[in-house]
Amino acid sequence: KQWYQRRVRGFAMGTAPLCGEQYPRTFSTTRIPCLVQDRIEHYTDSRHVAVLCGGKWYILNVIHAGRQLTPIELQKQIIWIEEASKTDVASPGEESLAVMTSTERTKWAAFRETYFSKGFNKHSLALIEQSLFVAVLDDSEPGYDANNPDMLDNYAKTMLCGKNIWYDKSFTLVCFGNGKIGINAEHSWADATIISHLAEECFNWDIELGYTPDGNCRGAPRDDMILPPPRRLRWDINNEAIDLISIAREEAMVMRQDLDLHILKHDAFGKGLMKKCKMSPDAFIQTALQFAYFKNQGKFSLTYESSMTRLFRSGRTETVRSCSSESCAFVKAMVDGKPAEE
């Protein structure tokens, strides 16, 4: 709340204020699958985060007795979840339940109505959907290795096509065993800049709050308050539903394998050099994309670039067609190696 109130009131491009309509939906928002058309639900009284750890779901209250938990208190609650997950046994179907949010929307809607409309399943699903966001504690250790470029590719694929991401939530925060993190955001409620600003604020707070020399959060829990431990969610998923979850998981694996994604680490220069050359970094990158595509394919293609329209009320994005007559002429001149008329 503190974050998006500050953003809504004070975010601007230069002196021009930008529409902040998207910010309040950052937390406590979910996309509900329906047979005809999905709907967006925003909850105003959420006080918890849904945590997936070791294939088990937990509810972590981040507000207790009218106050937000401090970083050190959150750390202790997360450690409690990690320890509990080592001995807790996942309910049948619980470990892969998140993949249902990646399947075809009509199938997910019918599944939800058939198997999650009553009892434990309905209650537990509601707690996930009404949470502030979903957090995944993943013990894998992705990263970058110059001698193993597949590591970075798999890191990105995990964040796009990971089996543990709850794709209906406004965003899923994945925390890996080596301290790396990733965020997967659902797109219908907002655009990429909103979640990017959230990540930027979190990094700033992380630096500002700091850690002790042994790597723990600073501060100490209040002695006058005993926090209740996180709660384990309960499920009653029958064999028919488990079979459908298994099918959805196989489909998700096929989608991941079909994704041709390779990440190149480029550190030879950045936007600073482009600006010194009095060039727009965006124009530089868009032209470079046109050049690379033409060299690879031998032709030009219509190109989509997203352009922010939040200078207007309720504005989100519009389309910029960066493949123009001028960009084509520039690319051809580069390929021919002959200077063209300016």
Could you give the residue numbers annotated as active site?
A: 187
Cα–Cα distance measured from residue 339 to residue 174, given in angstroms and rounded to the nearest whole number: 49
246 contact partners, CB below 8 Å, separation of at least 6: 96
For the beta carbon of residue 9, count every other beta carbon within 10 angstroms.
10
Helix (H) or strand (E) holding 58: strand 56-61
Which of 216, 226, 138, 117 has the alpha carbon at shortest distance from 183? 138
Q: Which residues contact 251 (CB under 8 A, 6 or more apart)?
A: 102, 103
Cβ atoms of 221 and 70 within 8 Å: the answer is: yes
- Cα atoms in the 13 Å half-sphere on the side-chain side of 107: 12
Structure tokens given for 127? 């707690």
Contacts of 102 (CB under 8 A, 6+ apart): 161, 165, 167, 248, 251, 252, 255
Q: How many CA within 13 A on the CB side of residue 209?
A: 14
Contacts 24+ apart (CB under 8 A), 207-214: 209/71
Contact 23, 194 (CB under 8 A): yes
